[in-house]
Amino acid sequence: MAASEEVSAPQTYQRMQLFVLSCVALTTAAMVFSLRANVMQDLGEAFHLTAEAVGVAVGLSFLGFTISVVVGGPLCDTVGMRGLLGIAAVLHIIGMLIVVFAASLTFLASAAAVLSIGMLAVGIAHGLVEAVINPLCATLYPDEKTHKLNVLHAWWPGGMIIGGLLGFWFTRHQVTWEIQLGIILIPAVIYGLLVAVTKFPPTERVEHGVPTADMWREAIRPLFIVWFVCMFFTAAMELGPMQWVEATLGKTVGFPGIIILVYVSGLMFILRHFAGPLAHKLSPVGLMWCSALLAGLGLLGLSAAKSPVPALMAATVFGFGVCYMWPTMLAVTSERFPRGGALLLGLMGGAGNLSVFTTVWVIGRIYDVYTQKFLPLGERLTGDLVARAGTEPLVGQMLDAARAQAVPSTFRFVAALGIFLIVVFGVIWLRDRAAGGYKVVDLAAEMGTKEDAAEAEAEESQPADESSEE
């Protein structure tokens, strides 16, 4: 549906239906994340790929997200949110089908290339979902953006819980990775059908008549640029390690790493429903400072954990740290730079996923480097060695032992990112307090004031009528 069609019938918008649809779409993307995390090692063994090669293929989904969320942001104002979300559903379905049938498509390209194409399509779908649901939520709930964006994004961990529990059950019952990823088709079809029967509003920026030039000017404001850079670090800390928990921590803590993913997701799902009161007490920026500190400490704890109890304790700290990161970064963007509309929200989502695209393969690279360090002399970590590990028990034990020793160094590299965030968020927090506290920009009031001023100026500039002159 075109943007012009959307503006014509505002009375038909059903806020709760639109919010639920947004939650289902985000849940679909989250299920992809957790089920994919559960089969990372299976993908390597099935196609004889190293951890770095799998990381590159999977990382392309985040590159696809980056491109589509940045492009999709401003398209929300022209193509319309309904059209973009419909395209997302189609790409979720097509991308998953390519990945599931990758082995049968190798006559077209290498297995790694086919996997990469499928993951790229899925990533583009996820990016379009984020490009739509964030400005949609900000439009639906202009007076409670931080709270509602956190509640909406509670369904990211909610979807990871669903996918994680399914993945755990599938693994216990030796269900193939193809079926595990194929499950994604069900929620993708559901939200695609919901899009077809739902009407969407215009974005907040369009609704209040903010000129397009003003939207683009917001992107070069110094404070937004700082916030944009911070998104790279928060996303890397939150999502990079979680994509690798099964392939890494499962070898060191004494139980499947996917359980940590589910546990952390459970904490996030619950805690995001309480973001409003916490943000009110600390301010959103103060909340992010605490989040960065706890996330870094949690990652250090996970890197050192060697048994279930310390692992769960560290995961608890990590979960408290990362639970508010993504939605609060978006909420602050929408509250402080509302004139930037869907464009700035798209840029923030793009920054986050470009970060994860890089982090996923960098973690895989670090993991490989340290694994190589702990392999016996003369052994080289190659695709052939990974393939032998799947068929030769002694080789498999050797590789698992080396990988277990490589895990701590991998997670400590990511934990170090928290130092930068603690400093930057601390400076902004203190700056806000010195200025009287965190302030939300009221776009409706601001545009109304400017319109009133423009009308008054226009009236003053008109020549007086003849009667007044007389």
Q: Dihedrals φ, ψ of 79, to 5°? A: -70, -35
CATH at 133: 1.20.1250.20
Decide which of 291 and 205 is more confident: 291
Decide if 266 is inside a domain: yes
HEC letters along 15-26: HHHHHHHHHHHH
What is the DSSP code (8-state) at residue 470? -
What is the DSSP code (8-state) at residue 174? T
How far is 271 from 79, CA to CA, in rounded Å?
Answer: 35
Question: Residue 57 is which amino acid?
Answer: A
Decide if 206 is inside a domain: no
Q: What is the mean pLDDT of residues 324-337?
A: 91
Residues 6+ apart with CB under 8 A from 102: 47, 111, 114, 115, 118
How far is 407 from 386, CA to CA, in rounded Å?
Answer: 17
Q: How many domains does the chain have?
A: 1
Confidence check: pLDDT of 458 > 80: no
Token pair belonging to 429: 């927090």
Evaluate if pTM is beyond 0.85.
Answer: no
Decide if 466 is inside a domain: no
Q: Kindly give the residue spans of alpha helices, DSSP state H, lying in 142-272.
A: 145-152, 155-172, 177-182, 185-196, 204-207, 212-218, 222-243, 245-248, 257-271
- Is the backbone of residue 378 left (phi > 0), alpha (psi -120 to 50) or beta? left
Q: Note the pLDDT tens digit of each residue in 79-114.
A: 889 999 999 999 999 999 998 898 788 778 787 888
Residues 6+ apart with CB under 8 A from 250: 256, 257, 258
Decide if 400 is inside a domain: yes
The residue to which tokens 């309480």 are assigned? 274
Decide if 273 is inside a domain: yes
Decide if 456 is inside a domain: no
Residue 181: which domain range? 16-200+212-448
Q: What is the mean pLDDT of residues 47-51?
A: 78
Decide if 366 is inside a domain: yes
Decide if 235 is inside a domain: yes
Confidence check: pLDDT of 1 > 60: no
